[in-house]
Chain A
């Protein structure tokens, strides 16, 4: 049993898909999604400064040819934008909980 565990792990690792670097196409897809979410947040007037700066970081990394970093930043920007959209939506009613009555 003790011997078989490393063997199983080795097998699992060998079957796992190889980690590949992000391509420009990956970045462009991720950036488009992030930009769309960011536009929606801005339309709701709930844009976060961190979404804007992370999108800018993604563009900068892509301009430098670092698509791994650009892809990761675009994904992060999308997550931030989606969180701000959630905030805008939930606060439509949630603000009342804080009101002085």
Chain B
């Protein structure tokens, strides 16, 4: 009888000890900590691909496959995004009908600022992406907004990215619970499975980078937006970050959200923040 009581008491003690150790972890997991999240995110990729130079992750599939990388490097001599870049530069410097220009809407005249987008606008209480800021600039100056997914918007963002090439991504999360909530919402969106294929963004870009999906090699999630916008051979043209999210959703058989939906803005915030310190490489070219 005594022995039984001792065993029961011992088991209860072990259970209580386990609970005591487990509880802080549960609390820690529920706390929004972007710094810890970014560190864990980076470490995951650095450990998974120890031979990839850290700054090379921004080159997506080319960082995962030597043959593809060589082909891409040769293609970069006459890059397919060059026309968009030229068009973007011209559009950027052409004044609106009211005489003002994009330069009047952005810090530093819009040059070399891509690495600071998206940012959290404390007045609005929401994430503002570069694409959104460009269209707001147009509307504020009496111009019609551009399509978020291609053509003019891709050209404009291509030029702005080009002026930031090599600058490290530098996304800030202000001390504002709404900014933390936006980051957390973006993280949730990134990991949430959707569509009939039951895929999340992470299914491809965390679990399987470097693997093939049909004929393509999947890019790592780390630094995936640093190369935006991109010329995709599959699209036979340029595409923005909005287009990339929409296409990813469609490929998993999920109905895409409207461009610049809160969820897309937040996931862009999350992915950009965890890539802080990695260089801007846009505009990019992808198969």
Which residue numbers of A lie inside 8 Å of B, CB to CB?
42, 45-50, 52, 80, 83-84, 87, 91, 94-96, 98-101
Contact = CB atoms under 8 A, between A and B. Distances in A.
A52 to B, nearest CB: 6
Contacts of B40: 100-101
A87 to B, nearest CB: 6
B88 to A, nearest CB: 32
Which size bracket describes the interface of B in this complex?
Answer: 20 to 34
A13 to B, nearest CB: 37
A99 B253 CA distance: 22
A76 B196 CA distance: 13
A96 B26 CA distance: 12
A15 to B, nearest CB: 40
Contacts of B29: 96, 101
B253 A49 contact: yes
B191 interface: yes
Contact of A98 (B191, B194, B250): B191
A46 B206 contact: no
Nearest to B45: A100
B187 A94 contact: no
Contacts of A80: 196
Given A49-B253, A98-B206, A100-B41, A91 B192 contact: yes
A49 B253 CA distance: 5
B96 interface: no
B191 A47 contact: no
Nearest to B261: A45
27 contacts: A42-B255, A45-B257, A46-B194, A48-B196, A48-B254, A49-B250, A49-B254, A49-B255, A50-B253, A52-B255, A80-B196, A83-B196, A87-B198, A91-B193, A91-B194, A95-B192, A96-B29, A96-B191, A98-B191, A98-B200, A98-B202, A99-B191, A100-B37, A100-B44, A100-B206, A101-B29, A101-B40
Interface in B171-194: 187-188, 191-194
B195 A49 contact: yes
Nearest to B263: A45
